[in-house]
Structure 1
Amino acid sequence: MDNIGMIVPDGPATAAHVAVHYDELDIAYRRMWGDHVHHGYWRDGSETVEQAVAALVTLVEQRLALKPGHKVCDIGCGYGATAADLLSRNDVSIVGLTLSAAQQRVAMDRDAGFKCLLRDWMDNDLETGAYDRAYAIESSEHMADKARFFAEARRILRPDGRLVVCAWLEGEGVPSWQARYLLLPICREGRLPSMGSRADYIELAANAGFALAGYQDISRQVRRTWSICLMRLLKGLVTDREIRRLAFGRTTQSRDFMLSLPRLIIALRTGAMRYGMFEWKAR
């Protein structure tokens, strides 16, 4: 496991903890945001949430450069909404992996060209060299061994295959107080075993056999996500019994994630946390 130089919180954040997080908060995620479990992308700020999340998928799609017949892997597919969008415009097949049984139940009802597996990426059992494209939208953060995350992506891809990753990243030159009061709590509350920087991801990917083809920092365009989530949470606490049950129930293990919403707003606005989109080609 290579997490040298990364933000690494105290406390466990295993695949089992990640699964509990998404299973427990299934209702909250879907009622507050929808089936796309990722940021929105606002070009001019006038977009609706639905338009913004679709715009992020379009950015990923452009970098994947899909062609008819491609076999694609969605690493951390959530509810399968991204795969469904891609399938609606491309003659490809997509296999997705999720740790959440709640997410898989929804994803299994998607387009016939999509197959969702309830499986840990670190033990994915996918065929070596069988895929043309792979993407991970805000799932690599949940991987304890990020070197292995990239190694497995390279293993399943054919030579010249492409990997696109959208990731929460540690900003450059983050002061110790921001790491202590923003990034470390965000990792603990979001069940992230570590948070790497742009440089960390580039180095780990290169070591796994990838050549960087492009990088875009879209922190400014995505940061509105968390202000909207916070407002919807506050409204839900007043109007939605299920949201209140999750927020105040003593048995809810993941309710501390509510505390991360204001932290995420501050972290993205101060630059302590960045949001990056990478494109790699398999060597």
Structure 2
Amino acid sequence: MIVPDISQDAVAVAEHYDELDLLYRRVWGDHVHHGLWVTGRETSGEAVEALVDTVGDRLRLTPGQVCVDIGCGYGSTARRLAVTRGVRVTGFTLSVEQEDYAAAHPVPDVDIQVCDWLTNGLPNASAEAAWAIESSEHMVDKPKFFAEAHRVLVPGGGFVICAWIAETDASRWKVRHLLEPICREGRLPSMGTREEYEAMATAAGLTVTGYEDVSSRVARTWMICAGRLVKTLLTDRGVRRLALGARNRGAILSIPRLILAYRTGAMRYGIFTLAKAVETVI
């Protein structure tokens, strides 16, 4: 597990997203996650939606299902799946700014709450499906992240995680100059490998039913973000002032690191498909 040299907690994560709210929406959009290029001809907006649709497909979502969006950001994924799949979604974010944005863009059957997933308070076996798109990285206690998903899911429920993960046995150079700074600048308490994620999922009682490394199909996200950032800094004085003065301005430095981390293989992007076992009666 890659752990930054400065400890991160849920408060730091919330402050990060609250402070950089405007910058994230200008540079990364209101989904705040990678795009997935399937044919390679998609626009960036289409690629972002393709990742969401991939999650919906892997969960085999059907109308009326009760779902949980763990680390929902601005609620854009929850809104899209509620509209396109007819599901009911409760989303959890640490950011007040993100919840405010979601409240200003409501759709039926989507409830966005400011709450730490690790203390979510949902009843046992109350959700039929759950997903976490690039939020597991922010979890201080990753084993509990998996354990809570197992607790909240009904038997047979599905769980999809889209995650930034570290290269297995990454070299010391990659850890020191790429992975550890990415964790520190992005307020990630830790970054695990595929093997560590699967071990934690299994220990929580979940079954790993699928895994796909889609690094090559998401990596261009960061070149797009870099271009948007440069354009925004040159044309928007408010964003420029924010970028130069924010406590969390180190996140800007992570963009070239992320580009290099993908190109060197230091960081991977994995989609995990998990399930809670169906209880058997003897």
* AA of the residue aligned to 1:35: D
Offset from partner CA, 1:204-223 (integer Å, 9 cap, x none) = 00000111111110000000
Cα distance in 2, alignment partners of residues 38 and 268 from structure 1: 15
Answering whether residue 113 of structure 2 is matched by residue 105 of structure 1, we say no
Q: CA deviation at 1:12?
A: 2.4
Does structure 2 retain, via aligned residues, the 8 Å contact 1:64–1:133? yes
What is the match of residue 110 of structure 2? 114
Does structure 2 retain, via aligned residues, the 8 Å contact 1:41–1:56? yes
Superposed, 1:183-198 pairs within 5 Å as: 183-198=179-194
Offset from partner CA, 1:145-176 (integer Å, 9 cap, x none) = 10000000000001110000000000122111
Cα distance in 1, alignment partners of residues 163 and 193 from structure 2: 9
Answering whether residue 172 of structure 2 is matched by residue 181 of structure 1, we say no
SS across alignment from 1:61 = helix
Superposed, 1:216-255 pairs within 5 Å as: 216-249=212-245, 252-255=246-249
Cα distance in 2, alignment partners of residues 106 and 112 from structure 1: 15
Offset from partner CA, 1:40-86 (integer Å, 9 cap, x none) = 01123321111110110111011111122210000000011001111
Superposed, 1:87-236 pairs within 5 Å as: 87-108=82-103, 109-236=105-232
Q: CA deviation at 1:177?
A: 0.4
Cα distance in 2, alignment partners of residues 45 and 66 from structure 1: 26
SS across alignment from 1:191 = coil
Superposed, 1:49-88 pairs within 5 Å as: 49-88=44-83
Cα distance in 1, alignment partners of residues 41 and 106 from structure 2: 29
Aligned residues: CA RMSD = 0.9
What is the match of residue 262 of structure 2? 268
How high is the sequence identity, in percent, across the aligned residues? 53
What is the match of residue 27 of structure 2? 32
What is the match of residue 3 of structure 1? none
What is the match of residue 38 of structure 2? 43
SS across alignment from 2:112 = strand
TM-score scaled by structure 1? 0.96
Q: CA deviation at 1:15?
A: 0.4
Offset from partner CA, 1:16-48 (integer Å, 9 cap, x none) = 000011111110111122211100011233211
Aligned residue pairs, count? 276
SS across alignment from 1:10 = coil
Offset from partner CA, 1:187-226 (integer Å, 9 cap, x none) = 0000000000000000000000111111110000000011
Does structure 2 retain, via aligned residues, the 8 Å contact 1:80–1:110? no
- Bigger CA drift: 93-102 or 7-16? 7-16
Does structure 2 retain, via aligned residues, the 8 Å contact 1:27–1:242? no
SS across alignment from 1:126 = coil
Q: Unmatched 5+ residue regions in structure 2?
A: 278-282
SS across alignment from 1:275 = strand
Cα distance in 2, alignment partners of residues 151 and 110 from structure 1: 30
